[in-house]
Structure 1
Amino acid sequence: MKLSCVLMAWALSVCPAVLLATQMLLAASSETLKCEGPVSTEQSGCHTDEEEDVIHASEEDFQVKGYKFSKPFHLIVSYDWLILQGPDTSIFEGDPLVLHCRAWQDWPLTQVIFYQEGSALAPPGPKREFSIDVVQKSDSGHYHCSGVFRSPGPGSRETASPVAITVQELFPAPVLKALPSSEPQEGDSVTLSCQTKLSLQRSASRLLFSFYKDGRSLSIRGISAELQIPKASEEHSGSYWCEAATEDRQVWKQSPQLEIRVQALQKPTASETPPMEPPGPLRPPPAPSAEHLRVSSSDPHLLHQIQMLLKQMQDVKVLLGHLVVELRELTVYLKPGITKVADK
């Protein structure tokens, strides 16, 4: 097997090294491992996990003694006639999946078949590659392939060992919550929150959110995971749900429905209405006086006329007093449950 290491000298800084390789190799194949990226010029090289500096290798890039190393990969050497080569990195919902059926020394194959959990995925054919454009969690399982060798191979159908493929969840189904309550009072402010979270390994991706009520869209594909109802009313009662989706909409998930019931404000009933008090006596208007009329006493005739007018107004005042008394007695008999007994 050939191993080459390409180094770039005179770099200003240490950058992540990318170690490119094939996940599964054949013993008779010629493969190249390449270590790319600017590195230090003092000591540079490609390392194996047997060296002291890299014994603490993890699944992520790491740094030891001033050097920065790429994450490790798994190299499997097989002596089988066929192997199934799958992805060498984690695969998530929405990713493409490509499987290769590799033959010993790349000898020609015919009637190649790919299987998932023992079931054929397609009829026999010449293609050594099988792909799924957008994988889902249901695509997880054990895969293998088989094929018939042509000359110079054995000439019989050979089968590769199964390979486990696990499709990881990109984000869980969202949950819609109403804050502070799903049963607000009329006039209260309500915030609808569509809660979910991307996998840490795909945290750089972005989700878009949509909100629905009773089958009608309220907000479509926005970056905000919240929807505000500034002032709730009875018309805001109903069934709500939300949807979270990737920007390419290859992966989208809906939340369970959430019932929101806006509570109407309590109004006083007829029994709670305070009883009405009977009207009080009407106050007769004050009798005018000579002072009010600004009359000069120098004219005896005019003064006599005013005095006669004042006397008549006093009489009217007395009559009004009797009328008020009669009205008060009449209101008593007009109350519910009281009837007046006629005099015999």
Structure 2
Amino acid sequence: MKLGCFSPPVLWAAQVLLAASSETLQCEGPVSTWDSGCRPGDDLGSREVDYQARGYTFSRPIRLVVSYDWLVLQGPAAPIFEGDPLVLRCQAWRGWPLAQVTFYRDGSALGAPGPDREFSIAVVREADSGHYHCSAIFRSPGPGRPETASSVAVTVQELFPAPVLRATPSPEPQEGSAVTLSCQTKLPPQRSAIRLLFSFYKGGRAVRGRGLSPELQVPAAAEAHSGSYWCEAATEDNHVWKRSRRLEIRVQGPSSSGAPPTLNPAPPKSAAPGMPAAEPPRPLPPPPSPSSGGPAPPSPLQASDPHLHHRMGLLLRQMQDVRVLLGHLVMELRDLSGHLKLDTRKGTAK
């Protein structure tokens, strides 16, 4: 087993090793020093955290399993996140040749049997999580029968959650005020060096293309800025990208800042000594005369007192009935007057 180290370190290795096989542990870091070294867990202590001792920086410990099975599936030792590549290796005892290698996820075959000992996914998603294993047939000098490796759990972690679009100070700003739209998300500590690009959209149109700033500044909000906004966060290689939910922005006009003023009349002021008293309120106009041809619309006073309005309606109808009777009387008087004139003329003629 070869050890090659660089400091400050990150230790990588396969999860499962076959006995009598040769594997490499690599300790990677940006700085190389002559006194760096990979050490067994007994020298590092029992804590599963990064720490410094005597000027050295140590990596997180990894769990290394040595198997005596005929066939093992080697999976990744480091955490796997969305967008990472995934490589699984089906390894045989002492490197004996294999035939009809098949890889499985959660019991389902991922392809037809073949000679390839590796199964890879260029860009993994959370849906690729599961229990993987492989099966193969040993060629001579192996047992010459099918063998199946134990399953390995692979969990693809979320690289960053879907962003949340927020408006500061409010999604209902006043016209002319400044508004800031923030596309908020967070990377895990293991991937904090990744750069995300942010873009902003209004409806189906891009407001700002991809950029490093997660904020969009609106110096002076106008009515045209009202609408439905959403943002997108993506990695530079565009392997992982996620959108936020829509946020409604409603710019408030000057008159919508408060309730309309109420028109409350000021109380009457008492007259000063020596000044004439205020003019008393004028009486209400009299009701319309019966000769108007029909009932007039009720006045505010009538509408405020339904009983009074009903009585006035009855009175108007009675006056109309009287008017009809008077008309009949006038017609009868005219007839009587005509008969009297006719009798008078006849008497004169005789």
Distance 1:76 1:180, change over 3 A: same
SS at match of 1:72: coil
CA distance in 1: counterparts of 2:37 and 2:222, whole angstroms: 70
Distance 1:35 1:90, change over 3 A: closer
Partners of 2:103 and 2:110 within 8 A in 1: yes
What does 1:262-341 correspond to in 2, within 5 Å?
262-266=251-255
What does 1:12-31 correspond to in 2, within 5 Å?
15-17=7-9, 19=11, 21-31=13-23
Q: Which amino acid aligns with 1:71?
A: R
Distance 1:149 1:67, change over 3 A: same
What does 1:182-331 correspond to in 2, within 5 Å?
182-266=171-255
Match of 1:63 in 2: 52
- Give the drift of 1:45: 6.2
- Give the drift of 1:253: 0.3
CA distance in 2: counterparts of 1:6 and 1:138, whole angstroms: 35
**Any gaps of 5 or more consecutive residues in structure 2?**
264-350
SS at match of 1:208: strand
Partners of 2:168 and 2:181 within 8 A in 1: yes
CA distance in 2: counterparts of 1:105 and 1:230, whole angstroms: 69
The answer to which structure has the higher helix fraction is 2
Residue number among 21, 33, 40 corresponding to 1:38 in the alignment:
33
- Give the drift of 1:4: 5.1
CA distance in 2: counterparts of 1:114 and 1:38, whole angstroms: 41
SS at match of 1:135: coil
Indicate yes or no: 2:161 matched with 1:172. yes
What does 1:104-183 correspond to in 2, within 5 Å?
104-183=93-172
- Give the drift of 1:113: 0.9
Q: Which amino acid aligns with 1:240?
A: Y
Q: Which amino acid aligns with 1:169?
A: E
SS at match of 1:50: helix
Match of 2:71 in 1: 82
Distance 1:125 1:211, change over 3 A: same
- Give the drift of 1:28: 2.5
Distance 1:32 1:121, change over 3 A: closer
**Any gaps of 5 or more consecutive residues in structure 1?**
8-13, 273-344
Partners of 1:15 and 1:39 within 8 A in 2: no
How many residues align? The count is 257
Identity, % of aligned positions: 64
Structure 1 residues 120-175: Cα deviation after superposition (integer angstroms, max 9, x where no partner) = 11111110101000111111111111111111122222111110111111111000
Q: Which amino acid aligns with 2:22?
A: S
Q: Which amino acid aligns with 1:264?
A: G
CA distance in 2: counterparts of 1:112 and 1:173, whole angstroms: 38
- Give the drift of 1:199: 1.0
CA distance in 2: counterparts of 1:175 and 1:21, whole angstroms: 37
SS at match of 1:153: coil
- Give the drift of 1:35: 6.8
Partners of 1:49 and 1:57 within 8 A in 2: no
Aligned-pair Cα RMSD in Å: 2.6
Structure 1 residues 228-260: Cα deviation after superposition (integer angstroms, max 9, x where no partner) = 122222221111000000111111000001111
SS at match of 1:266: helix
Structure 1 residues 75-120: Cα deviation after superposition (integer angstroms, max 9, x where no partner) = 2111111111011111111110001011111111111111111111
Structure 1 residues 176-218: Cα deviation after superposition (integer angstroms, max 9, x where no partner) = 0111111122222211110111111111111110000010000
TM-score scaled to structure 2, two decimals?
0.67
